[in-house]
Amino acid sequence: MKNEKKIIAKNPVAYHNYEIIDTIETGIVLYGTEIKSIRMGKVNLKDSYAVIEKNREIFVYSMNISPYENGNIYNKNPLRPRKLLLNRNEINKLIGMTSQKGYSLIPISLYFKGNFVKLELGIGKGKKIYDKREDLKKKEADMKIARALKS
């Protein structure tokens, strides 16, 4: 029961715009009204990205958590940077991988694991336009094959 994942939000363009090499599960620092909004499913990961700061802390930017309706003065800025919780070895691994040219940190999904909110962070390399076209062609071909086998 504790290892079950209840997915709250996914990044719809993560696998389209990036070739994901590796993923890592992180904790995230949130406030009470943000948790309530997350439980209601008011999260958008579409334009979000993560950055490793100079003091070896990782923050996620542009992750939109809509304000809680009944939060009043306790609501935080919906687009504020949020700190990610990782141990030192994981941060060093991410620093080594993202120091290579073209690699970046992309939030893939946000989910509950037990009572905690976790963020799946992917290490990805940006795709070129022709790579995206090739993926779409392959996906179309797979769908045609599946339809043919079905009928």
- Tens digits of residue pLDDT in 95-151: 888 888 888 899 999 999 888 899 999 998 887 887 788 888 888 999 999 999 988
| CA-wise closest residue to 135 among 7, 17, 9, 1 | 17
Average pLDDT over residues 19-35: 88
CB atoms within 10 A of CB 82: 20
Average pLDDT over residues 6-10: 88
What's the whole-model pTM score? 0.79
pLDDT above 60: residue 27: yes
Q: Give the pLDDT of residue 94.
A: 87
| CA-wise closest residue to 9 among 117, 149, 151 | 117
Q: Give the pLDDT of residue 136.
A: 85
pLDDT above 70: residue 24: yes
pLDDT above 70: residue 1: no
The full set of domains in the chain, from first to last, is 5-150 (2.40.280.10)
Q: Give the pLDDT of residue 69.
A: 80
Q: What is the pLDDT of residues 50-107, one digit of tens each?
A: 999 888 899 999 988 888 887 777 777 778 899 999 999 988 888 888 888 888 899 9
Burial (Cβ within 10 Å: 0-12, 13-18, ≥19) of residue 124 = buried
pLDDT band at 28 (very low <50, low <70, confident <90, very high): very high
